[in-house]
Chain A
C-alpha cells in the first residue's frame, strides 16, 4: 500500500483526496493556512498504523496545543496523541470492522462507507482565544466497484481463499499480498492479471490507466445509441454544468468552492491515486484539479475524464471477460459515490428494502418467470426485449439494483431532473388506465408497475399492489368480466413514491430509497387516523373457506393440491404450484382473493376496491360450498 505522505494545505485538497463528507464549502479562510498538517493522502490499508504531524506556520502565532476528535467514519484504533497534539498516531479499522458481513468472491466492492474511511478534526488553540480548525480524512482502501476492470495504482482486495497470481502483464512487478488478510493486489502496469483461488477458480483483472483507455464505446456496431443518449446525461455533464459550461459565465454554476471535494464523484478516478484519473492527470499537467475553471478552458485530457463517463462506472481497460460483465449491474458500482452516509444514503436505504434481497432464493434466479421481477438482469431483459443478461449460474444474489429503475445512460426520463427513472411500457392490465390522461397516473410510477401488477395470463396473481392501487385486475366470479374499481389514489403526486418515500433517519439524501410508507404519509390527506383494516383477516378467512371447498373433489374446479396452498407467511402465494382454473366461478373467486392477499398494503392502496374483490368472491365461494354439500 502506498504510504505517500504529502503536505495538505487547504481543506478543499483534503476533501478532494477522499470525497465530500459534507457539501463543498467555500475555500478555507486564510487563517487556516497557518495550520499545516502532514497526513497520508492515499489509502493506508486496513488494520494499518498511520501518523499525522501538525505545525503552526504563521508568524506571531504561539505554539498552543491541538485537540483531536474523530467526527466521521469507522472508529480508529490505538489513537495516541503526543507533543501537545502536534503528533497523532492511530490504526485503521480491520476490513471486518469497516465492512461487516460475508465477503463476496473476487474483487471486494468498497464504498466510502465500507472502505474504512474516517475523518479527524484538529482544533488548535493558542490559549489566548485564537482557534484554527481543520478536518483530516483518512481511508484504509481505495473505493472499488467490485468489477474485474480496474485502474493501475489502485489496490484491490479479494474475497475468497487461497489466491495466487498465475500471470501478469509484461513489465509488471506486482505481487499478491496475502497478509494482512484478505489478499490484495496493486496492479502496476496496463494488462491482464490472471489469478486463481484455492479451488482453481480463475479471476482475470483488466488494468489500465483511465486516461489511456479509448472512449470509443459509441462506434457503430457497438454502443452508438447508448453513447448518444449518454452525451446529454446529467451524469456525463455534471462537471461541465458545475463549472459553468455556458459561454460568458464567470462563476461556477454549482457555486463557490466547486468542484473541490466533489471531484471524487463528479470526475473519473480516485483522487490521491496514480490511476490516470482526473486529479492524477491534472497533477501531471500542472493544473490545479480543484481550481474552478470553465469547462471549455480545461485541457482535453481533463475534459475526457470530467463527469461520470463510461469508465467511471465500467472501469478502465479492455472489455471485461464475458462471465464478468453482469457484475456491472450490482449496486456496488453506484455505491462508490452513493454510499456515503450521512450525506448520500441511497444504498444504505435501499439495503433495507425487500428489493435488495429479491433474488436471495436460488429459484428466483434460475426460474425465468421469477427472474423477470426478482433479478435485475431479468427485469431489464423483460422491459427492453434485449438479450437476457442473466448472471452466471454461480453468481451471488444482488437484488433489484439501481440499474433496474434508473436508466443511467439516458438523458430524458421520467421524474425529477437527474433521477433518470426508466419508463417501461405499462403492463397489459394497466395499459388503458395509464394511457388515459384523466387518470393522471404519475409517470414516475411507470418503473414500479411491471413488477407490481399481475400478469392476467399467469396461473396465479402475483405482487398485485399496483393493480389494486389503480382498481384493476379483479374478475367477476360469475361472468368472468373484469372487475373495475375506482383508483382512489391514482392522482397522488409522485405516484408510488408519493407514499413510499421513507427510509432510515439521519440521511441527507437518498433516504427515500428505503421505499417505506409509514402511516404518517397518509396524514396530509387523512387527518384522522385510519381505522385498523380487517381486509387481510377477512381475505385469509375466505381463503381458508375456499381451500376447504376446493379441496372437496366433488367441486371439480380446482386441482387436488390446491388445498396445499397455506398462507403461513413462509412464501408468497404466487410462489406455490397452485394452478387456478379461471374458467370457473370458484377459480375466479380465488383469483380475486389472492389479489388482495398478495398485496399486504391493500387497505392503503385501495381499500374500496379490495373490499369489492372480497365481496365478489364471497358469494361464489359460498355457492360452491352449497353445491358441494348437496352433492355429498
Chain B
C-alpha cells in the first residue's frame, strides 16, 4: 500500500531547502489504455507530480492526497493539469497533507460522461474505466431540469467542476461540512 506520511509543513521545516523546482511545463500526453469490451485499463495513470499519491476517481474527476516527494528522483515540475492545495487541519492519518484535483483526467475513447473510472492501488496499480453512461458524472448534460451535482456548475450545458483550491480528503477534514471533489462544501445535498 502506498502510504504517504509527512505533512508538507513538517517536511519543509525539517528537511532544509529543496532543489530548485524546474519551470512549469505543458501537461504530458495522455497515457494509453488497453481495452477489452467495455472495460479499459490505464496501467500508468497520471498523477500530480513525481511524488507519492493516493488517488480516487469521483464522478469524472481524479482526486489525490499525498505529496510526499519521491525519494531518489531528480526534480521535475508538477503536471499543470492539476489544481493543488493544502489539506485542512492536521490529519491524523498518514495519507499526506496535499490535495490535488484533475478535472479532466485521461479517458478512453468516446464521451467523458460515458466512463466511470476507479483506481486500483494494489499491484499492479492501475486505473480501470468501465463504460457506464447511466451514472451521473462531470461532463453530463445539464440545464434547468437537470442540475449539476454539488461542487459542479452548469457551464455551456455541461456539468463542470467548480474551480476551487482543493483542501480535503475525508469529510472529517471539514468540521461541520463535508468533502466533495476535494473541497469542503457548506451543505449536504
A contact residues vs B (CB 8 Å cutoff): 190, 208-209, 211-212, 214-221, 223-228, 230-232, 236-237, 239-241, 245, 247, 281, 284-286, 295-301, 303-304, 306-312
Considering only CB atoms, which chain A residue lies closest to B77 in the complex? A296
A285 near B74: Cβ-Cβ < 8 Å: no
| B68 contacts the other chain (CB 8 A) | yes
Stretch from B5-13, B142-150, B178-186 that touches the partner: B5-13
Q: How far is the CA of A36 from the CA of B4 in the complex (A)?
A: 48
B5, B43, B46: the one within 8 Å of A219 (CB): B5
Offer 10 A-B interface pairs, CB within 8 angstroms, sorted by A. Answer: A214-B3, A216-B5, A231-B73, A241-B74, A284-B44, A296-B22, A296-B77, A299-B29, A307-B73, A309-B71
B123 near A209: Cβ-Cβ < 8 Å: yes
B4 near A300: Cβ-Cβ < 8 Å: no
B5, B31, B73: the one within 8 Å of A303 (CB): B73
A309 near B68: Cβ-Cβ < 8 Å: no
Counted as pairs of residues, one from A and one from B, with CB atoms less than 8 Å apart, the total is 126
Q: How far is the CA of A309 from the CA of B71 in the complex (A)?
A: 7
Q: B2-40, CB under 8 A of A: which get 1 and which 0? A: 111110001100111011001101001101100000000
A227 near B71: Cβ-Cβ < 8 Å: yes
Considering only CB atoms, which chain A residue lies closest to B11 in the complex? A220
B73 near A215: Cβ-Cβ < 8 Å: yes
A220 near B14: Cβ-Cβ < 8 Å: yes
B74 near A240: Cβ-Cβ < 8 Å: yes
Q: How far is the CA of A360 from the CA of B73 in the complex (A)?
A: 37
Chain B neighbourhood of A297, CB < 8 A = 25, 28
B44 near A214: Cβ-Cβ < 8 Å: no
B contact residues vs A (CB 8 Å cutoff): 2-6, 10-11, 14-16, 18-19, 22-23, 25, 28-29, 31-32, 43-44, 46-47, 49-52, 68-77, 79, 123-125
Q: How far is the CA of A236 from the CA of B76 in the complex (A)?
A: 12
When A228-B16, A231-B19 are in contact, do A307 and B44 touch as well, CB less than 8 Å? no
B71 near A285: Cβ-Cβ < 8 Å: no
Within the complex, the shortest CB–CB distance from B48 to chain A, in Å, comes to 9
Considering only CB atoms, which chain B residue lies closest to A240 in the complex? B74
When A281-B44, A303-B76 are in contact, do A310 and B71 touch as well, CB less than 8 Å? yes
A220 near B73: Cβ-Cβ < 8 Å: no
A304 near B5: Cβ-Cβ < 8 Å: no
B50 near A304: Cβ-Cβ < 8 Å: yes
Chain B neighbourhood of A216, CB < 8 A = 2-5, 52, 68, 70-71
Chain B neighbourhood of A247, CB < 8 A = 22-23
Considering only CB atoms, which chain B residue lies closest to A308 in the complex? B72
A245 near B73: Cβ-Cβ < 8 Å: no
Q: How far is the CA of A309 from the CA of B70 in the complex (A)?
A: 10
When A285-B44, A299-B44, A303-B50 are in contact, do A212 and B74 touch as well, CB less than 8 Å? no
Known: A228-B15, A300-B28. 13 other contacts (CB 8 A): A216-B52, A219-B68, A221-B5, A230-B72, A231-B19, A231-B69, A284-B43, A285-B31, A285-B32, A299-B44, A300-B44, A300-B50, A303-B50
A190 near B123: Cβ-Cβ < 8 Å: yes
B11, B47, B72: the one within 8 Å of A300 (CB): B47
When A215-B70, A227-B69 are in contact, do A220 and B52 touch as well, CB less than 8 Å? no
Chain A neighbourhood of B11, CB < 8 A = 220, 224
Q: How far is the CA of A211 from the CA of B2 in the complex (A)?
A: 12
Chain A neighbourhood of B123, CB < 8 A = 190, 208-209, 212
Within the complex, the shortest CB–CB distance from A220 to chain B, in Å, comes to 4
A215 near B31: Cβ-Cβ < 8 Å: no
Chain B neighbourhood of A285, CB < 8 A = 31-32, 43-44
B72 near A310: Cβ-Cβ < 8 Å: yes
